[in-house]
Amino acid sequence: MRVLGVETSCDETAAAVVEDGRRILAQTVASQVTTHAQFGGVVPEVASRQHVRDITRVVERTLEDAGLTWDHLDGIAVTCGPGLLGALLVGISAAKGYALATGLPLVGVHHIAGHVAAAFLDADEATASTEGDPGPATAARPHGGLLEPPVLALVVSGGHTEILDVDEAFHFRRLGGTKDDAAGEAYDKVARMVGLSYPGGPKVDELAGQGDPQAFSFPRAMLEEGLDFSFSGLKSAVAGEVERQRRSGGLRVADVCASFQQAVVDVLVEKAARAMRETGRRTLVVAGGVAANRGLRAALAARAAADGFEVRFPPVRLCTDNAAMIAAAGCVLLARGRCDPLTLNAHAQLSLDAWQSGRV
């Protein structure tokens, strides 16, 4: 089964063709990062307009790179939420147009289900066309062998921090999540506080490697209990410390980044390990933009070895937003007979439960 995936939920216009939910035949990511950087963050209206400008070319180039025509495809998968409403609508409208013109079945994919599906792609097969900002380089081969559910998933991105149980049928059950900011959001806000440009997460990650993680003691909210997260207190504590240092004449950027990162990583690792213990799952999948974080990767790998579970990270390029993950999830859904009508709509807010049960 070959599925075209389309992803436009935020600031990447992306398309990919994936075979059997595993093999990436081609993918294109047109990043808008340099456009939004001048505004310090994603400007929704600008994102939508750029998606409109790019989407047709991105899809056509992807098919061309794969050496395929529409006749070779079995379905179209598109991110239907959550995300920026105007941005989502561009991808959905394009996907619906293609579905109508070709008669191919259409399926709407929850963005988080897509991030998790990235872990099931065969990283060795991945080829990519990247336009604009190339983003982080491909990581070394992260694992051997193809992954099968059930797994536990830690999804850490700019918009989400969630722990999900994923059963054999690729059905999601939310075990915990953030009460306020997402981990990536906290990274981006701290980056801005210390004067780093958008998107700040990778820059904080890099500077953290040069600083002392014990330099400042930042709060680790709700560390001792449950599977929920809160990062707003940490963000405020960093803001207070940065302000204090600025007043006293010198900001220790690397030490602030390292101490902040340590606080985030400690909480993510502790909660993920607790969820593994409580569910008895054997494999943890880490997905979303923050899964690219070097500190998190190292700490989770160490904890997995100590606690006796397996941890898998998609290659860095598949951790941030892309369409291969949407196509991969689409393959699973279409194979299970799920198909959406041409009335499929975009949802800025969309819970996994509402999406799974088809209540949207």
**Residue ranges in contact with ligand KG4 by CB under 6 A:** 10, 157-159, 184, 187-188, 199-202, 205, 288-290, 292-293, 320-321
Report in angstroms how near the CB of residue 29 gets to ligand KG4 at its nearest: 10
Q: Which is nearer to Zn ion, 135 or 211 (CB)?
A: 135
* Sheet bearing 151-156, strands edge to edge: 172-177, 161-166, 151-156, 283-287, 310-312
- Residues 319-338 close enough to bind Zn ion by CB under 5 A: 321
Q: x/- contact string, 257-296, with Zn ion (CB under 5 A)?
A: ----------------------------------------
Residue 252: Cβ within 10 Å count = 17
Q: x/- contact string, 147-166, with Zn ion (CB under 5 A)?
A: ----------x---------
Spatial neighbors of 299 by CB under 8 A, at least 6 apart, are: 265, 266, 268, 269
Q: Which is nearer to ligand KG4, 211 or 288 (CB)?
A: 288
Residue 211 interface partner, choices ligand KG4, Zn ion, none, CB cut-off 5-8 Å depending on type:
none
Q: Which two tokens stand for residue 263?
A: 């606080």
Residue 324: Cβ within 10 Å count = 33
Spatial neighbors of 142 by CB under 8 A, at least 6 apart, are: 123, 312, 313, 314, 315
Distance from C-alpha of 293 to C-alpha of 258, rounded to nearest angstrom:
12
Backbone φ and ψ of 80, nearest 5°: -110, 0
- Report the greatest alpha carbon distance in the chain: 66
Report in angstroms how near the CB of residue 158 gets to Zn ion at its nearest: 7
Distance from C-alpha of 277 to C-alpha of 268, rounded to nearest angstrom:
14
Residue 79 interface partner, choices ligand KG4, Zn ion, none, CB cut-off 5-8 Å depending on type:
none
Report in angstroms how near the CB of residue 58 gets to ligand KG4 at its nearest: 17
Q: Which is nearer to ligand KG4, 84 or 221 (CB)?
A: 84
Q: Which is nearer to ligand KG4, 187 or 218 (CB)?
A: 187
Backbone φ and ψ of 68, nearest 5°: -120, 160
Residue 62 interface partner, choices ligand KG4, Zn ion, none, CB cut-off 5-8 Å depending on type:
none
Q: Which is nearer to Zn ion, 256 or 296 (CB)?
A: 296
Residue 213 interface partner, choices Zn ion, ligand KG4, none, CB cut-off 5-8 Å depending on type:
none
Residue 86 interface partner, choices Zn ion, ligand KG4, none, CB cut-off 5-8 Å depending on type:
none
Report in angstroms how near the CB of residue 205 gets to ligand KG4 at its nearest: 4
Distance from C-alpha of 41 to C-alpha of 21, rounded to nearest angstrom:
32
Residue 48 interface partner, choices ligand KG4, Zn ion, none, CB cut-off 5-8 Å depending on type:
none
Residue 31 near Zn ion by CB under 5 A: no
Residue with tokens 């951790």: 319
Distance from C-alpha of 180 to C-alpha of 321, rounded to nearest angstrom:
21
Residue 200 interface partner, choices ligand KG4, Zn ion, none, CB cut-off 5-8 Å depending on type:
ligand KG4
- Contacts to Zn ion by CB under 5 A: 157, 321
